[in-house]
Structure 1
Amino acid sequence: MNKTLIFVLSLFLSLMSCKDEKKALKVTQQKTPKNILFIAVDDLRPELNFYGANHIKSPNLDKLASEGLVFERAYCNVPVCGASRASLLTGMRPTRHRFINYKTRADIDVPDAISLPNLLKQNGYTTISNGKIYHNNEDDGLAWSSRWFPEGNIRDYQIEKNVKDNAGSGQAQGGAISHEMAQVHDTAYFDGKIAQKGIADLRALKNKKEPFFLALGFMKPHLPFNAPKKYWDLYDRNNIELPESYVQPKSTPRKAFHNFGELRQYNNIPKKGDLPEDLAKELIHGYYACVSYIDAQIGLVLGELKRLELEDDTIVILWGDHGWNLGDHKLWCKHVTFETALRTPLIIKVPGKTKGEKTDAITEYIDIYPTLTELVGIKAPKTIEGTSFVPILNGKTPEKNWAVSKFKDAVTLIKGDLFYTEWTSDDGVAYARMLFDHKTDPLELDNLAEKPEYQDTVEALAKELRAKWGKDFLN
């Protein structure tokens, strides 16, 4: 064989080998995406089409669910925004004295913890916080390459009278009302601006060598229920009904209920007693409108991710920081340990792994941190108390089948169909209990904890709760 032919053949084989290597590399990258789009939605309850509801219009969330893995039984570890976010982002459980309320700061409660964004930043990620990720935008400052929050009054009214009446008001002062319907463009409100900032960031990140952790924290459907009129127009209030569980059974401890002070601070809400039915339905209408508004903003961001051809290299995870009561148990807002406040929407889309599945595996929010680090090949710190749910993504049955949530003195063990709650003193002694069996009582209207025939079950659950609420719980 002459030298020319040998050279040509060698060159051809070399090019084919190089092509095969690039193809193999592309497949590998699809299996282990490096970027993370981290979407938080404030006060979003799992009242969505892919959870069995059919009355809220959220086509973009439906599409994400059809491409991801939907968790049917995801639970926050504490049903209040600041504490829930600090717990999730550090992967650490709340205790009696840690992660307590909306004012919680991770960098104060656990100053030595390495948060998820901080760990990623230490491993070469560009980390960006837009909108509400931590409750306090200054929290965990070293974790972020950049932080951004829209300017303006936090209630973000757009109707002139509401802006004027609420000018300069604090969290619980001024002429604030619980909702408004404004004839404005989507970008008039904070969440429209947050979506546009996220889109701009994606464009800037497109050609960077470093992987990114882009966190977008949307504000609605948090109170006040402000949304452009076109989203209110999607719903007919005549078709809105109060929940079936609009009752407070005598068998349930009074400690389980509250006066929903978060809602009462608004001037158009009575200071005590049940809400008038018309007002209750108006609020539900406003909540639905806000969910549809947020859905549209998330759709714009996901559309840009696709247009920029970043989809195949980006994990998308969407979560609500806790549930929310829309009249359930005659309650509004969160701050309780009923399932309506603890159960949350959670979707993860992993290129090459997910394609519209659902799982009923019980998952806690502290499980998100170790899952994401495992997916991108970074070792999680020893402070992490959650368990990665990557096995679920791989089609395996998880060993862990329980979750623990708490709010103030109330601590709840979720195991199988049972929801067991104790109100405990500082020394861990219970002073009130409730037990619901979701197999027979999904609305949590029949407290079994004091019934004689359930005492053995209560005793067993009490022991298990203490074994699983965390080694530092009483400290």
Structure 2
Amino acid sequence: MKQILSIAILFIGLSTVAQPKKTMPNILFIAVDDLRPELNCYGASQIKSPNLDKLAAEGLVFNRAYCNIPVCGASRASLLTGTRPTRYRFIDAYTEKDKDNPEAVSLPLLLKNNGYTTISNGKIYHHQKDDKEAWDSRWFPKGNIRDYQLAENIKKNASANLSEIGGAAFENANVDDTAYFDGKIAQKGIADLRKLKNKNKPFFLALGFMKPHLPFNAPKKYWDLYDRNSITLPESYVQPETTPKEAFHNYGELRLYGGIPKKGELSEDLAKELIHGYYACVSYVDAQIGLVLDELKRLNLEEDTIVILWGDHGWNLGDHKLWCKHSTFETALKTPLIIKVPGKTNGAISNDIVEYVDVYPSLIELAGLKIPSTVEGKSFVPIINGNKSDKNWAVSKFKDAVTLIKGDLFYTEWTDDHGKAYARMLFDHKTDPLELDNLAEKPEYQNKVNELAADLRAKWGKDFLRKN
């Protein structure tokens, strides 16, 4: 009897030890505001971003990832629902998922409904209250959104919000990293990882970093990484006459800051100072992301965690004599997208075209869940598995402009409410990567333009022209 009891106790003990771990992976979801793919992992760059480069060396870098709309609120809502922007849905920075597409089950809500702990820190949706049922907890740093540390800027900014003229467009302050929002967001993420470490359920931890969004505020040590004399204006610092006037804008977002002229071009010195500030902010946010990734490793969570890093859209740093996003040039549409999947990625670079509506179905497939029928993107898991994609296109839009990216061709139409074009541009990146020679009105390209126009309408989404 004693022997039988001993065997039973041993069996129970072995059963306890052998209980399976959770099979669904954790997901560390890192969004970076206004980050363009000007990083060494995308080719030689002046920007010092060792932590993002290290992540790229362990992950998969998508060299041709494109946002579906180059403005933060709409881009984020589109990505998080896996649904495309239309003429009437996901329009601008102030987009709310709950208003524009309330029927869609968002990525975090689907994960939450399937046993994940979901946490939103920093800027994930543009509005903190949006999609509130999707999160177990939400947190955002306290303070004015422009987050100045120098007294002069604080005074000039007063209670201004992002639609009012405030302090300077950049700030070089001799402060610690945690003085600014992104340092606080990193520390909150680290604290959450420590709490989540011993939970017996998977997590979706979303960290939304603010820089390099305007104003370009970063601690002095990151400004000191760069020599202003080595900074040059982009080669595409020109607006050719063949490019439709509709393609350009007055970069009104930048003009809401002190020290920026209200019209006309910027001086060369000011332009270089802005580029310097942008670089400093990228290095600053890179350091904060590095702290989070180091903690993930220290906690032995790396092997159970997918890490995905994305910028919500591109950004013009004087390209085409433009600043900010809000255009359909590649500089505003092309984005950094890096994913690290334990056991699957090893620093490869993919030149397959992917778009942001593809992120949702990819993460859901990696989690082993069913992709909802409302999702319009296509999973890029086959690319992660080392296969070529059979999809060589993406569609992006901003206001009336709609762009089909197909192979090396970038074709844009400005259309009215009925889908009729009133301006066009076409660039062939094989011969014109800077997008300076518009081919759309040249007689020898009319057959190609007609072909692309039909293809654009076939791919821009079934609801593109529908008002409700």
Q: Answer yes or no: same fold by TM over 0.5.
A: yes
Equivalent residues in 2 for 1:305-344, closer than 5 Å: 305-344=296-335
Match runs of 1:63-462 below 5 Å: 63-462=54-453
Q: Higher mean Cα deviation, 49-58 or 301-310?
A: 49-58
Residue type matched to 2:326 in 1? H
The residue correspondences of 1:1-40 to structure 2 (distance < 5 A) are 34-40=25-31
Q: Deviations over 1:193-249 (max 9, x none)?
A: 000000000000001112100000000000000000000000000000000000000
What amino acid maps onto 1:474 in structure 2?
Answer: L
CA deviations over 1:161-190 (Å, ceiling 9, x no partner):
111221211223354210000000000000
**How far did residue 401 of structure 1 move?**
1.1
Contiguous gaps of at least 5 residues in structure 2: none
CA positional deviation for 1:53: 2.5
Residues of 2 paired with 1:240 and 1:418: CA distance? 30
- 2:404 and 2:411 in contact (8 A); partners too: yes
SS in structure 1 of the partner of residue 183 of structure 2: helix
Q: Per the alignment, in what secondary structure is the counterpart of residue 95 of structure 1?
A: coil
Counterpart of 1:370 in structure 2: which amino acid?
P
How many angstroms apart in 1 are the aligned matches of 2:383 and 2:16?
Answer: 34
Alignment deviations for residues 40-97 of structure 1 (CA, whole Å, 9 cap, x no partner): 0000000000100231000000000000000000000000000000000000000000
Post-superposition offset of 1:436: 0.2
Contact conserved, 1:179 with 1:224, CA < 8 A, in 2? yes
TM-score (norm 2): 0.96
Could you tell me how far apart the structure 1 residues matched to 2:165 and 2:91 are? 27
| 8 A contact 1:167–1:174 mirrored in 2 | no
CA contact (8 A) 1:33 1:314 kept: no
Q: Cα distance, 1:119 vs. partner?
A: 0.5
Tell whether the 8 Å contact from 2:166 to 2:256 is kept in structure 1 after alignment: no
SS of alignment partner, residue 121 of structure 2: strand
- What are the superposed Cα offsets for residues 109-143 of structure 1, whole Å, 9 maximum, x if unpaired? 00111000010011111100000000111111111
Q: Is the 8 A contact 1:419 1:436 kept in 2?
A: yes
**RMSD over aligned Cα, in angstroms?**
2.0
Q: State how far apart, in whole Å, the 2-side matches of 1:327 and 1:253 are.
A: 18
Q: Secondary structure at the match of 1:369?
A: helix
**SS of corresponding position for 1:361:** strand
Looking at structure 2, the residues matched to 375 and 101 of structure 1 have their Cα atoms a distance apart, in angstroms, of: 30
How far has the Cα of 1:397 moved from its partner? 1.2
SS of the residue 2:276 aligns to: helix
* 2:43 matched residue in structure 1: 52
User: What's the CA shift for 1:400?
Assistant: 1.1
Supply the AA of the counterpart residue of 1:348: I
Whole-Å Cα distance in 2 between the matches of residues 183 and 172 of structure 1? 27
Letter in 2 for 1:100: I
Deviation (angstroms), 1:447: 0.1
Separation in structure 1 between the aligned mates of residue 297 and residue 428 of structure 2, nearest angstrom: 43
What is the CA–CA distance in structure 2 between the aligned matches of 1:166 and 1:210, rounded to whole Å?
Answer: 44
Percent identical residues = 75
Aligned partner of residue 271 in structure 2, secondary structure: helix
Please tell me whether the aligned partners of residues 233 and 318 of structure 2 are also in contact (alpha carbons under 8 angstroms): yes
Amino acid aligned to 2:290:
G
Tell me, what secondary structure is at the counterpart of 1:347? strand
Q: Which ranges of 4 or more aligned residues in structure 1 deviate by more than 6 Å? A: 17-22
Which segments of 5 or more consecutive residues in structure 1 lack a partner in the other structure?
none
Paired AA for residue 151 in structure 1: K
Taking the aligned partners of 1:413 and 1:162, their CA distance within structure 2 comes to: 42
Q: Secondary structure at the match of 1:272?
A: coil
**Deviations 1:400-445 (Å, cap 9, x if unpaired)?**
1100000000000000000000000000000000000000000000
Q: Is the 8 A contact 1:180 1:225 kept in 2?
A: yes
